[in-house]
Amino acid sequence: MIRIIAGSRRSRRVLSLPMSHHVKPISARMRKSVFDIIRPHITGSLFLDLYAGVGVVGLEALSRGAQKAVFVDKDPQCLKMIQKNVENLGFKEDAKVVKGDILKGLVWLKYYSPQGYDIVYMGPPYRDQENNPLFYSSKTLELVAKDEILSEYGFVIVQHHKKEPLEIPQNFELYRSQNYGDTVIDFVRPANKK
């Protein structure tokens, strides 16, 4: 069972999809660790949850004081479940759930936050239904950089498999990396922003 860890909706349940759906939400341990790291940046932030799954990361951000969260996925079942979770947790006013093919570009996301996003979280699927590695992280990070969707001091959190190399776009820098078993969580920002 998935629960919100902290904030205004602490301990509230987040609904998930059956295991057969191949959506594997981030573990509570990893989520706690990530949010401990970004705690100073959450309050009032504009949060973008890419490959949102059931929306647990964006919901955690809202519970901890993010001003707004935009959830993006292309799977209709995931989008339905995110919408249900948003409503169950009382975040209808603060959340936008949108269907989108992330790998086709992100410039359209400026519509929902013209000043850019303060925190972009991406947890793309590691493997397809046939268990082949997907390697979406570098491509997605490249689109975040190219389509300029970050706010002035925005940064990106990339969750990926340890065997998936992450290519950092030009003018961006990796400033922190955490390992959790098979998963790596990298923190990336424009190189001129400290």
CB 185 within 8 A of CB 178: yes
Q: How many CB atoms lie within 10 A of CB 24?
A: 14
pLDDT given at position 172: 96
Domain containing residue 135: 2-190
pLDDT given at position 41: 97
pLDDT given at position 158: 97
Residues 6+ apart with CB under 8 A from 40: none
Going residue by residue through the chain, which has 194 residues, state the pLDDT in tens, using 9 for 90 and above: 899 899 999 988 998 887 666 677 788 899 999 999 999 999 999 999 999 999 999 999 999 999 999 999 999 999 999 999 999 999 999 999 999 999 999 999 999 999 999 999 999 988 877 777 788 999 999 999 999 999 999 999 999 999 999 999 999 999 999 999 999 999 999 997 65
pLDDT given at position 11: 85
Residue 190, strand partner residues:
172
User: What total number of domains does the chain contain?
Assistant: 1
pLDDT given at position 130: 77
Q: Return the CATH number at 111.
A: 3.40.50.150
Q: Is the dihedral of CA 41, 186, 92, 117 positive or negative?
A: positive
pLDDT given at position 82: 96
pLDDT given at position 194: 54
- H or E stretch including 56? helix 56-63
Please give the angle made by the CA atoms of 13, 100 and 127, to the nearest 5 degrees.
Answer: 70
pLDDT given at position 23: 72
Please give the angle made by the CA atoms of 21, 25 and 26, to the nearest 5 degrees.
Answer: 155
Task: Please state the φ and ψ torsions of residue 73, each to the nearest 5 degrees.
Answer: -155, 165
Residue with token string 């759906």: 21
